[in-house]
């Protein structure tokens, strides 16, 4: 089976049309159609329903798609295994990440890669908002929020538990909450658009409606207010790891619940034809989280 035809099939599905796939990979619609026909003839099935402008997968096409993606992944892994790892990275690495994690973890990794690869350039966007990585031409988005259903590819980088925390001075003045209901008597620092904090009691998820005197659109501002003793915040571990380690913040552990857990993800527009600079960055981010956690 010709893997170029398999790759062509995946490009057709991704683009949503034969002409769109042709534009992505630099082939004429006729060449794309012929490649698809070769693959269908070899498999002995029809993979797509063709129309002039759009297409849809047949049941056989839906069955074959994950197999095709696995074949291409295996090919890419084989190529990577025998590629000279000392080869210099080049091109522009475009990354977006949340502000706090971006500054403390992502930017140092990017800087290290640039130091080791003089031909590599970087374009880093730090924002707590969600960026459309396809429309913006982003290579990798670092995400900490729960991921909605999407055709984007998500690679888990690390666990990212959420932490209830407060400044020592705040707890000395207002007391230490011991149960979820105790939070009702405390100043809780909230983010715009998040009306409830999520907790778990065994396998049950509990949404605790939250409102307080301080609300902000920025995780950085929430952390700053927490450090200043304004109240209790629910933040992700990697946002406050240094603060907890240095004692400027204290973890608040409740007897009856624990904060719902998150993960940190590298979100990619596609897993196919991934540039070596992107693959290397994702690998370095995994290693960075592992070393920081140990």
CA–CA distance, 152 with 224 (Å, rounded to integer): 33
Indicate the Cα dihedral angle 28, 34, 36, 41, nearest 10°.
Answer: 180
Task: Tell which CATH architecture fits domain 159-262.
Answer: 3-Layer(aba) Sandwich (3.40)
CA–CA distance, 65 with 70 (Å, rounded to integer): 9
pLDDT above 60 for 83? no
CA–CA distance, 17 with 51 (Å, rounded to integer): 9
- Residues with Cβ within 8 Å of residue 77, at least 6 apart in sequence: none
The backbone torsions φ and ψ at residue 263, rounded to the nearest 5 degrees and listed phi first, read -135, 160
pLDDT above 80 for 24? no
The kind and range of the H/E element at 255 are none
Specify the pTM. Answer: 0.60
What percent of the chain has pLDDT above 70? Answer: 92
CA–CA distance, 64 with 59 (Å, rounded to integer): 9
CATH number of 91-155+263-293: 3.40.190.10
Q: Across-strand partners of 49? A: 56
Q: Hey, do 3-81 and 159-262 end up sharing a CATH topology, with the first three levels equal?
A: no
CA–CA distance, 102 with 144 (Å, rounded to integer): 11
Query: And the tokens for 33?
Result: 């159609």
pLDDT above 90 for 249? yes
Let me know: does 47 contact 21? Beta carbons within 8 Å. no
- Residues with Cβ within 8 Å of residue 237, at least 6 apart in sequence: 160, 161, 162, 163
CA–CA distance, 142 with 77 (Å, rounded to integer): 22
pLDDT above 70 for 53? no
What percent of the chain has pLDDT above 90? Answer: 43
What pLDDT sits at residue 272?
Answer: 63
- For the ranges 30-39, 88-97, 170-179, 206-215, the one whose mean pLDDT is highest: 170-179
Average of per-residue pLDDT across 259-269? 88
Q: pLDDT tens for residues 88-127?
A: 788 899 999 998 889 888 999 999 999 999 999 999 999 8
Task: Tell which CATH architecture fits domain 3-81.
Answer: Orthogonal Bundle (1.10)
Domain ranges of the chain: 3-81, 91-155+263-293, 159-262
What pLDDT sits at residue 206?
Answer: 93
Give the range among 6-15, 48-57, 236-245 with minimum mean pLDDT: 48-57
pLDDT above 70 for 85? no
Let me know: does 114 contact 122? Beta carbons within 8 Å. yes
């Amino acid at each position: 089976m010709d893997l170029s035809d398999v790759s062509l099939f995946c490009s057709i599905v991704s683009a949503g049309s034969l002409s769109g796939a042709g534009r992505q990979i630099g082939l004429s619609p006729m060449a794309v159609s012929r490649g698809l026909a070769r693959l269908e003839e070899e498999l002995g099935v029809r993979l797509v329903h063709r129309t002039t402008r759009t297409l849809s997968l047949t049941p056989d096409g839906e069955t074959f798609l994950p197999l095709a993606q696995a074949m291409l992944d295996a090919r890419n892994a084989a190529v990577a295994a025998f590629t000279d790892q000392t080869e210099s990275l080049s091109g522009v690495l475009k990354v977006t990440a949340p502000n706090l994690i971006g500054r403390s973890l992502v930017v140092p990794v990017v800087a290290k890669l640039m130091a080791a690869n003089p031909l590599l350039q970087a374009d880093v966007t730090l924002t707590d908002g969600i960026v459309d990585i396809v429309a913006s031409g982003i290579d990798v988005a670092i995400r900490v929020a729960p991921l909605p259903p999407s055709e984007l590819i998500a690679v888990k980088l690390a666990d990212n538990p959420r932490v209830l925390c407060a400044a020592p001075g705040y707890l000395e003045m207002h007391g230490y909450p011991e149960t979820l209901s105790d939070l009702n008597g405390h100043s809780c620092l909230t983010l715009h658009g998040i009306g409830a904090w999520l907790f778990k009691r065994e396998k049950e998820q509990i949404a605790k409606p939250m409102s307080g005197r301080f609300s902000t659109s920025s995780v950085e501002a929430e952390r700053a207010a927490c450090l200043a003793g304004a109240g209790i915040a629910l933040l992700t571990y990697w946002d406050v790891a240094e603060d907890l380690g240095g004692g400027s913040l204290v973890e608040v552990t409740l007897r009856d619940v624990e904060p719902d857990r998150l993960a940190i993800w590298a979100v990619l527009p596609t897993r196919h034809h991934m540039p070596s600079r992107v693959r290397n960055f994702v690998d370095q981010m995994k290693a960075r989280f592992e070393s920081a956690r140990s």
